Amino acid sequence: MKFNLKYFISFALLLTIEILIAIYGKGFIRHTFGDYLVVILLYAFFKSFLKTATNKVAFITLLISYFVEFLQLTNLKNMYPNQYLKTFQILLGTSFSFWDLLAYTLGYLSILILEKKISFSS
């Protein structure tokens, strides 16, 4: 474990963008671009604290994203506590979509491409 400020700043910026998308976004921006960015956001968060190979962290991030999407096929959304219903709906979603899986995959591929071009590791 080693803290990386550059990844953490990237995470904070992406989190701000995601919050703005959640509040103001509609259509494609909210439902697809937000899903694309969330993979990159999670990756930046993990890389803020883990000095692990890009491929491993990116793949684990993709698996987590897929897992959350496939959870939407279950009855989980009916078990969200009422006081946190809106928050859980935003964070975990409410309905499964193959388009979301595509957005996550594109985010994953973007990570691999960006990491080859820009290195925050130093």
pLDDT string in tens for the chain (122-residue length): 899 999 999 999 999 999 999 889 998 898 899 999 999 999 999 999 999 999 999 999 999 999 999 998 988 777 878 888 888 887 787 889 999 999 999 999 999 999 998 876 54
Largest CA distance in the chain: 45
Q: What is the pLDDT of residue 65?
A: 96
Q: What is the pTM of this model?
A: 0.88
H or E stretch including 27? helix 27-28
CA-closest candidate to residue 89, choices 80, 98, 97: 80
